[in-house]
Structure 1
Amino acid sequence: MSYIGYGGGRGLVGSWSQLPSAGIAQLVMDTRGQGSRYRPGDTPDGGFTGPSSGGVMTLGIDDPATYYYRRVFTDAVRAVDAAAAHPLVDPARIAVQGGSQGGGIALAAAALASPVTAAVIDVPFLTGFRRAITLVDTHPYAEIVQYLHVHRHAEERVLRTLSYFDGVNMAARARPAALFSAGLMDEVCPPSTVFAAFNHYAGGDKRIVVYPYNGHENGEEFQAQETVDFFRSRLG
């Protein structure tokens, strides 16, 4: 089960070939309302409400019940349900995987969905919000900063909403075997926020691969090989 980075669409034929070429079945979840920043393919999202600052980071951010990622995390769990129900899938061998936003969604799925056996969480976005928005001014975290730049008295309310979706809090209830990765020069998802999620991850079978001289691109093909090896060892 794979989740997509921020702004990306589900792609076209041939967009997802790496895991299948290694003999691993793959279901890709399209992220509602996205698909215009890179890679085509999109699914509409008619449920947003309230003011926002570009992108989707602040859609419905006034309340946890209306926040955009509530719908996305629900989609992520239902996608695992759909995979488990497929007649060609062994429900005892389901893994979740993603990088950046996809990593944050995979972390949420590892915490909330059942059954999940293993998770690959690469340079996760949506993690350590309170720290991230004070460390970097890069997008997508910059959308939250811009929102607070205008809505000067909304900080407490916004941070309360974000706490419900923070990967650090999700990690505290996630138990599948997990492989994390971090780039120490990452200026999009600060490595300290990735390590916060890793350190809070409740499952005992966890490991993090660190790339000291890489940024948000992370390990690329090297991490892809780590992912294949990890899935083969944990899924059989």
Structure 2
Amino acid sequence: MAEFDLPLEELREYRSASVEPADFDRFWADTLAEARHHDLDARFEAVSTGLTTVDTYDATFAGFGGHPIKGWLVVPAGAREPLPLVVEFIGYGGGRGLAHAHLLWASAGFAHFVMDTRGQGSGWLTGDTPDPAGSGPAGPGFLTRGIDDPDTYYYRRVFTDAVRAVEAARSHPLTDASRTAAVGISQGGGITLAVGGLVPDLVAIAPDVPFLCDFPRAATITDQLPYREVGHYLASHRRSKEQVFATLGYFDGVHFAAKGRAAALFSTALEDDVCPPSTVFAAYNAYAGDDKHIEVYDFNNHEGGGPFQQATQLGWLPARLGAAARRES
């Protein structure tokens, strides 16, 4: 579709109307402290994929509530020394997929951890992690599950899983915890922003066309799913608007961005009606780190930069994480 959002010069100045809850920091500190009462129990089992250029491990760790969360750890074949670490989060509806599918970052010399997203993995990539927690009435999809209370909201569990995924990946002897980045596209980009705000010692983050940002605008500017799930929910729960947006305030990428300090490479597309560019710029403009940049793709929809953005990341990330171990030898 054609451009529908603010002109680019206005996007660069746009600020979200989303209000950070007064107890935002306490909410997340308590949530993560509760999760850490459970032993991380990170386990890595080598698997055969038929590939000769990478070694792959089937990972399991304890996420929110101690629930077992799956992932893949992929490293260059024969790696023996700790490598810079890239932790990746997956887009909406997708899971970790099959073991042989993740080659980019290990091929560039990094250790690459892919987190499965609880309850997802039946949309476009398969998943292996159930979500055992229930919720009240919700619309189809994930965006309104438990939305009547921040404590029960679905993304409280997912964001906690994501922080624990970083901790699990860092526990492996082939990863260098001091050189860790988080990356993701769409929902994965939104999770990346949350991790960037909750894990203070990340070196870099790369949220591509991120979802879960600027909920007050996102829920009203686009008819596209997943944001439209909020409108569908409120069409039935007609007196719940105030509580819904109060809950979403605890999970808005704008507020996590305001706490991020790592180097950051964002991307947005000006014809993106799934994650409208104003919602992405809302997070980018709020981002607190000094080393930040946003790639803008003028004539693209939610595919964003695709392989062009990957190429940009491949040039950008090594400069932040340092050369991979195999290049240092």
Shift of 1:114: 4.1
Partner residue of 1:118? 204
1:1-236 to structure 2, matched below 5 A, reads 1-236=87-322
Q: Tell me, what secondary structure is at the counterpart of 2:251?
A: coil
Computed over aligned residues only, the root mean square deviation of the Cα atoms, in angstroms, reads: 0.8
Q: Is the 8 A contact 2:203 2:321 kept in 1?
A: yes
- Change in CA separation of 1:159 and 1:126 when aligned onto 2, cut-off 3 Å: same
Q: Is the 8 A contact 1:91 1:115 kept in 2?
A: no
Higher Cα Rg, which structure:
2
Shift of 1:86: 1.3
Query: What's the TM-score, normalizing by structure 1?
Result: 0.98
Moved over 6 A (4+): none
Amino acid in the other structure paired with 1:157: Q
Shift of 1:115: 3.0
> Which has the larger displacement, 197-206 or 8-17?
8-17
Shift of 1:105: 0.1
Shift of 1:84: 1.6
Percent of residue pairs bearing the same amino acid type = 57
Structure holding more strand per residue: 2
Q: Is the 8 A contact 2:264 2:292 kept in 1?
A: yes
Gaps of 5+ in 2: 1-86, 323-329
Q: How many residues align?
A: 236
Amino acid in the other structure paired with 1:216: H
Distance in 2 of aligned mates of 1:107 and 1:191:
16
Q: What whole-Å deviation, never above 9, does each CA across 1:123-177 have from its counterpart, x for those lacking one?
A: 0000011101110011111111100010000000000000000000110001100
Q: Is the 8 A contact 1:94 1:117 kept in 2?
A: yes
Q: Tell me, what secondary structure is at the counterpart of 1:213?
A: coil
Q: Tell me, what secondary structure is at the counterpart of 2:212?
A: coil
Distance in 2 of aligned mates of 1:65 and 1:197:
23
